[in-house]
Every structure is written in structure tokens, then in C-alpha cells.
């Protein structure tokens, strides 16, 4: 990895649970504050008074839980802009991934807001918290699918916010949990709003919650690595008509960047051909195992 930052004591706004345990190969990492990424950071991140009640309630329960169940190792957290809009595109392979990603963004002093399936907003209490935090519902299929499912993300971009979009659209179907084919939503929002598109990857959450499971494995604490990549170079696509061909090409570039980050975390090479459910007679959403 190019840089590494592991858990600092509680109360440090860059601190995360875990402690300094080193990389898998035992080599020391550089402090993130000394890494130059080329991203301007002119403003400030959120302060405690900026968070509404829904964010404070969620953080009160989620962050201590993750400190208890996982040893986190964060890489490249200074690659998130301190101010201004951006799209964050993570890999997705367990139901607990949004909490991992949201915690990483929250501890980077940006408010995490996801494009999330609309059915989650209908869950009692949880749905109220989702709405209270400004999460963005998206109908993925059926007669209730809205004509512009990405409109909420664009609105957030206009206000200078950050939106988290899972480009795979659902949990990966790859049997070895590699990123599968991507959908075009993350790239479309980034190109239409001319904002940075930042790839993200994490590995280890499958030890806390298996794919398609909702059961936490609390012991022993598992190592979870999280990495933010450099912004995807979309210069070849900007200024061109945003049509399906362009979006497909740009999404392939994004998925390559995410896969490269996963390869670094796993220490192994991904398959040469990316998994595609449409060629495997698999449905696009829901469980298939």
C-alpha cells in the first residue's frame, strides 16, 4: 500500500479502532498527513454541532460496536476532500458493508450519505434513522421505480455533499467475493456534476458477517482493511456526450480501479474476466445461494 494509518487513541479525530498492528507484510506505513494526493482541502470537515440527532444516535451505537468487533486498518483517508462534492464508489460483498464504509467516511469528518434501496426506508425505526440522516432512497425495480433514480444524488452534489454509490448495485455474485460487473450510476453522477469519483475497497468484513447473513460474529475481533484510492481519471470522458457507450466504458475503468485496490488488500490477483450475472443465469438482485 502507498500509505497506511492505523488506530489512534479515542478522541483523536483521525483515530479509528484498532491500534498500530502494521501491514500484513510487517512493513511500517507512512502517516497520512504526510502523503500528497493533489486533492485541494480548503475548508473544514464537520464539527459536532453539524450533526443532527439521527447521525448522533447512529454513531453512538455503530462506532463502539465496530471498535469491539474489528481491528481496523485505514489507508488513504486523506484522499477524501475536506470540502466539496464527490462520489465514493466502494466494493460490496456483505450486508454489513454500509456500516463499515459509513464509519470510515464519518471518521474522516464527512457525512456519509448513500444511494440505498428504498425498501430499507420502510423498516420500522431504521427507516426513520435513514431518512433523518438524509440517505437517498432508490427503487431498483418494479412498477414503483422512479424515472430518475439518481436525482437525489445529483441534488446532494449541488449542495456540495458527498454521495456513496455501490457501482455493483448489490452484493457481488462472484463466488470468491471479487468485484463483479458495474452499473453506471456512480460514473453518471460524477460526470454530470463534474466532481471527483473516488474508488474505495475494504476486505475482512466477511469474517464479521458472511455474505447474505445478518448474524454478527463477535469473537475473535477480525482485521478489516479499508482503503480510499486516488480519484479516477475521467478526463478521457469529460466533455463528450454522456451516452450509454461512454458510461459503460467509464464504469469499466472505475471497476478496474476498485478491483486493483481489492487486490492490494487481499494480496492476490483477481480473475482475468470480471464476473457478470447476466452470463451466469443469475438474477441481478436478492439472494441466489
8 A C-beta contact, residue 205 and residue 96: yes
**Count of alpha carbons within 13 angstroms of residue 70, beta-carbon side:** 29
pLDDT tens per residue across span 96-111: 898 889 888 888 888 8
DSSP-derived pairing of the beta strands 222-228 and 70-75: parallel
- At the second CATH level, the architecture of 5-22+44-279 is 3-Layer(aba) Sandwich (3.40)
Return d(Cα 281, Cα 93) in angstroms, integer.
Answer: 19
Please count the other Cβ atoms lying within 10 Å of the Cβ belonging to residue 78.
20
Return d(Cα 89, Cα 260) in angstroms, integer.
Answer: 13
**DSSP structure class, residue 114:** B
Cell of 153: 444524488
Ordered alpha helix ranges (H), 148-273: 151-158, 185-193, 244-266
Please count the other Cβ atoms lying within 10 Å of the Cβ belonging to residue 120.
15
Non-local (6+) Cβ contacts of 262 within 8 A are 91, 178, 179, 201, 203, 270
Non-local (6+) Cβ contacts of 158 within 8 A are 85, 193
| Per-residue pLDDT, 5 | 45
pLDDT tens per residue across span 39-63: 222 223 445 445 667 777 777 787 7
Whether residue 220 has a cis bond before it, omega within 30° of 0:
yes
Return d(Cα 215, Cα 218) in angstroms, integer.
Answer: 9
- Burial pattern 186-203, b for ≥16 Cβ within 10 A else e, equals bbbbbbebebbbbbbbbb
Closest CA relative to residue 106, chosen from 14, 34, 173:
14
Collapsing DSSP to helix, strand or coil, 75 comes out as: strand
Collapsing DSSP to helix, strand or coil, 175 comes out as: coil
8 A C-beta contact, residue 224 and residue 100: yes
Report, as ranges of residue numbers, the positions in the chain whose pLDDT lies below 50: 2-46, 48-49, 142-147
| Per-residue pLDDT, 265 | 97
Cell of 88: 465514493
Amino acid at each position: 500500500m502507498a500509505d497506511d494509518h492505523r488506530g489512534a487513541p479515542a478522541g483523536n479525530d483521525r483515530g479509528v479502532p484498532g491500534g498500530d498492528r502494521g501491514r500484513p507484510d510487517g512493513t511500517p506505513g507512512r502517516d497520512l498527513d504526510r502523503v500528497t494526493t493533489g486533492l485541494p482541502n480548503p475548508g473544514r470537515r464537520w464539527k459536532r454541532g453539524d450533526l443532527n440527532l439521527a447521525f448522533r444516535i447512529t454513531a453512538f451505537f455503530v462506532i463502539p460496536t465496530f471498535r469491539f468487533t474489528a481491528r481496523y486498518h485505514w489507508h488513504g483517508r486523506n484522499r477524501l476532500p475536506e470540502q466539496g462534492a464527490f462520489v465514493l464508489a466502494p466494493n460490496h460483498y456483505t450486508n454489513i458493508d454500509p456500516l463499515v464504509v459509513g464509519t470510515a467516511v464519518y471518521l474522516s469528518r464527512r457525512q456519509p450519505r448513500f444511494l440505498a434501496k428504498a425498501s430499507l426506508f420502510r423498516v420500522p425505526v431504521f427507516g426513520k434513522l435513514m431518512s433523518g440522516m438524509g440517505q437517498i432512497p432508490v427503487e431498483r425495480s418494479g412498477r414503483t421505480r422512479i424515472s430518475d433514480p439518481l436525482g437525489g444524488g445529483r441534488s446532494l452534489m449541488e449542495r456540495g455533499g458527498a454521495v456513496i454509490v455501490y457501482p455493483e448495485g448489490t452484493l457481488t455474485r462472484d463466488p470468491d467475493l471479487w468485484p463483479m460487473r458495474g452499473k453506471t450510476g456512480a460514473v453518471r453522477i460524477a460526470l454530470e456534476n463534474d466532481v471527483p469519483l473516488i474508488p474505495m475497497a475494504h476486505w475482512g468484513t466477511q469474517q464479521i458477517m458472511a455474505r447474505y447473513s445478518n448474524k454478527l460474529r463477535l469473537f475473535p475481533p477480525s482485521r478489516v482493511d479499508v482503503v480510499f484510492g486516488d480519484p479516477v481519471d475521467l478526463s478521457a470522458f469529460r466533455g463528450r456526450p454522456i451516452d450509454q457507450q461512454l458510461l459503460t466504458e467509464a464504469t469499466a475503468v472505475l471497476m478496474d480501479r476498485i478491483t486493483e485496490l481489492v487486490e492490494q488488500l487481499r494480496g492476490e490477483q483477481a480473475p482475468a474476466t470480471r464476473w457478470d450475472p447476466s452470463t451466469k443465469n443469475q438474477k441481478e438482485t436478492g439472494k441466489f445461494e
